[in-house]
Amino acid sequence: MRALSPAEVLFEGEAPPAVLPACDHYAGSEKLMLKSLALQQALGPVFDVTLDCEDGAQVGHEAEHAELVASLLGSEHDRFGRVGVRIHDFQHPHWRDDVRLILRAAKRAPAYITLPKIRNVPDAAEMCAFIEATRRELSIAQPVPVQLLVETHGALARVFDLAALPGVEALSFGLMDFVSAHDGAIPDSAMRSPGQFDHPLVRRAKLEISAACHAHGKVPSHNVSTEVRDMSVVANDASRARNEFGYTRMWSIHPAQIEAIVAAFAPRDAEIATAAEILLAAQSAQWGPTRHHDTLHDRASYRYYWSVLRRARSTGRAVPEEAAPLFAGSAVS
């Protein structure tokens, strides 16, 4: 009998939850875009680069900026196909032009399109539908995944409905805009650590977003750390986001933050080794219950340990050679 892979048996015919690179690095100017893409080529596809049209474009020069972004997608600078774009928000008159210009001119479609300042479900659904219609019109073979930025009261109130939208692969938390939306009721200390993890309203927002994503198999992406000098602060922010709030991805706004974030989200060597041992034993047992070091395991724990190996791959960590066949037939590379 052929050995079945975890992806074939652990999710009852459904697609496994999405796994994306642990870091999403933002760049708005041409200089920073090129620097970020060069760093991605050096480190590998362990982080994504988001080319920013929203904050990167000068007023009145939105079209030129979108064309610049399009010129980099699929170019020699885009080696791994892990480059996304953030377009303007629904209220901005140029968001549709962003989509048209970028999808028409790029040699390769972006890995994802991020939609900022989502205020309600109908706006998000309309933007998703327009992106899908445009890619069909332009005969782009595969759908372009969408990531939504939750930073308004309206988005948070309907966050589970947003996570359920077809085509959406991730929700990101916009901490600073969310705090500002409270008109001074939340102190500015909640825009940075440790306040961002301690203020009850901010904690609630983080937890709601994370829970909504996990309920619908989407990726929760944590807000930036404003610290750009002391990388131990960034690493601690990433660790708390991962271990206390269930986030599996985090934004970066400075190149020095990238490696700290990726390392914080990566499983430890001992976790990887244990996961490989348990899953190989499970595969040998045709995915029936097994025993590992006097602890019983079944498909519930197998799903957890499969997520450990998938996260290891996505963060560039080595997986034991004997566990490589577990990925046969899986979309995870």
Helix ranges (DSSP H) in the chain: 6-9, 30-43, 62-72, 95-105, 121-137, 153-157, 159-163, 175-180, 195-198, 200-215, 231-245, 255-265, 269-284, 299-314
User: What tokens does 161 get?
Assistant: 């409905």
Cα within 13 Å of Cα(54), Cβ side: 17
Would you say 86 is a known binding-site residue?
yes
Task: Yes or no: say if 240 and 265 are a contact pair by the CB < 8 Å rule.
Answer: no
Query: DSSP secondary-structure letter at 325?
Result: G
- Dist. CA 290–CA 237, nearest whole Å: 36
Count Cβ atoms within 10 A of the Cβ of residue 77 and give its class: 0-12 exposed, 13-18 middle, 19 or more buried.
middle
SS3 assignment, position 221: strand
Would you say 135 is a known binding-site residue?
no
- 146, 147, 149: which is closest to 173 by C-alpha? 149
The region that residue 329 occupies, defined by phi over 0 for left and psi between -120 and 50 for alpha, beta otherwise, is left
Task: Yes or no: say if 148 and 162 are a contact pair by the CB < 8 Å rule.
Answer: yes
Angle CA 193–253–230, to nearest 5? 50
Would you say 208 is a known binding-site residue?
no
Task: Yes or no: say if 36 and 255 are a contact pair by the CB < 8 Å rule.
Answer: yes
Task: Yes or no: say if 243 and 231 are a contact pair by the CB < 8 Å rule.
Answer: no
171 CA to centre of own chain: 8
Task: Yes or no: say if 197 and 225 are a contact pair by the CB < 8 Å rule.
Answer: no
Residues at the binding site for Mg(2+) are: 151, 177
Residues at the binding site are: 86, 151, 177
Residues at the binding site for substrate are: 86, 151
